[in-house]
Structure 1
């Protein structure tokens, strides 16, 4: 059994994982899919003071009560999970960047995806960024094009505070570099001008032939890749334990 902590991206809520959670749970895993401050059942907490640091605190408070967490960050939440792992590396077994921003220490969302500067400049009341508009297929609404799915997705979207895009990520803990990583790229319907950074040589790369919100459009396939990532970490951990405790010739392990 693995413990998954699924962190939604900008504008979304924890409900976006509703099709993935039961698949992981039916396979025997523990799954947490909280809504970050300002979204979903916490939408009433949206304010100019909410930012990346708020969301890191949200996830860290939960992660510090768990062990061997497979920490999954979608889109903007790549920034969130990076800082959480920096704070609690001993709690994280695997980092999964799901079509996500992949920062370096001290970077903001604008550094990772420069087009977000325009979102800040156009913010409502100087601090609220409305959800991006629906575009013609195959782009749709965050890659979702089925009308029923689009309506469901719209029901969970909230504005994004600009502090989420302005505050820097903290990645100065060397222990973070030892946490295994999987990067999952959604390769269909990518908007022009969105570039991805190279995946680290030590990380695993997987692709899904769908749009950005793959948890809505390909939940079964995504769940399979998440379980695969967890199994890879378990295998690596077992190998490390055996290397640290070799069995002497002529003996058997218990």
Structure 2
């Protein structure tokens, strides 16, 4: 039995793994798919200080309080920032990192710096609500922004998107333990569309895993192709 911790991306919550988690669980594995502070079902917990470090701490605390070990730590999109930070803090608890069409940060780099062509448009729509800077405000047709086009998937996902704290995208990742996070085995599961549209330096990082998979689908691949994602994650567990 393997232990999976599934981390969502910006504007999402643990709900986005709703079709992947049962497939992994039915195969006999333990699954944790938390919503990070201020996101999804925890949108009410957001504060003006919620940032990348907050989300790294969310996951570290989950792993420590549940005493998880040999974790296959999966991060989607912005979640790549989070799982890299977690791997830096508690590398001994992690068996492998899986980047699910995700950001591949290095020390001192924020998501805004890592993917400006995607984050600057989000910043342009930033609003301050109750003293908190938020981006990715849901709107009609928002599912298409994440590559979700099937009508049933759209109907399920669109009511669940939530705004995301801007500081998470703007705060640089600061590593505490040298290159510990980069010594762990890593798997990349990329979307064909993302690979095609990525700058060359980003594409190199997307293909530098010990294993690299590709799915021809939209960015929210855990929603659009849950069976294929689960199959690839099960191959990592095996």
Residue in structure 2 matching 1:164, options 164, 168, 171: 168
- Cα pair 2:147 2:218 within 8 Å, conserved: yes
Q: Deviations over 1:179-223 (max 9, x none)?
A: 1000110114x4986443313645211001111111111111100
On the 8 A contact 2:188/2:209 being kept in 1, the answer is: no
* TM-score relative to the length of structure 2: 0.88
Moved runs in structure 1, 4+ residues, more than 3 A? 131-136, 190-197, 199-202
1:127 CA drift (Å): 1.1
Report SS of the residue matched to 1:23: helix
Residue 118 of structure 1 and its aligned partner are, at CA, apart by 3.6
Contact 2:187/2:209 (8 A) holds in 1? no
Question: What is the Cα deviation at residue 41 of structure 1?
Answer: 2.0
- Backbone CA RMSD of aligned residues: 2.2
Tell me the CA shift for residue 167 of structure 1. 0.9
| Equivalent position of 1:39 in the other structure | 39
Q: Deviations over 1:219-240 (max 9, x none)?
A: 1110011111222xxxxxxxxx
- Partner of 2:73: helix, strand, or coil? strand
Partner of 1:100: 102
Deviation at 1:162, TM superposition (A): 0.8
Q: Provide the rounded CA distance (Å) in 2 between the counterparts of 1:201 and 1:39.
A: 30
Aligned residue number for residue 3 of structure 1: 3
Equivalent residue pairs, number? 228
Aligned partner of 1:185 in structure 2 is 190
Give 1 or 2: higher helix fraction.
2
| Distance in 2, Cα, partners of 1:107 & 1:94 | 22
Task: Say whether 1:142 aligns with 2:146.
Answer: yes
Q: 1:230 maps to which residue? A: 237
Which structure 2 residue ranges, 5 or more long, are not aligned? none
Match of 2:125 in 1: 122
Partner of 2:204: 198
For the residue of structure 2 that corresponds to 1:56, the secondary structure is helix
CA–CA distance in structure 2, aligned partners of residues 192 and 27 of structure 1: 33
Match of 2:181 in 1: 176
Q: Deviations over 1:33-78 (max 9, x none)?
A: 0111112221111232211111111111112220000000000000
Structure 1 length-normalised TM: 0.83
Contact map agreement 1:185 1:206 (CA 8 A) in 2: yes
Cα distance in 1 between the residues matched to 2:160 and 2:141? 18
1:86-106 Cα shifts (integer Å, max 9, x gaps): 000000100000000100011
Q: Is the 8 A contact 2:138 2:161 kept in 1?
A: no
| Structure 1 gaps, min length 5 | 232-254
Structure 2 vs 1, CA of residues 32 and 202 (structure 1 numbering), >3 Å: closer, same or farther? closer
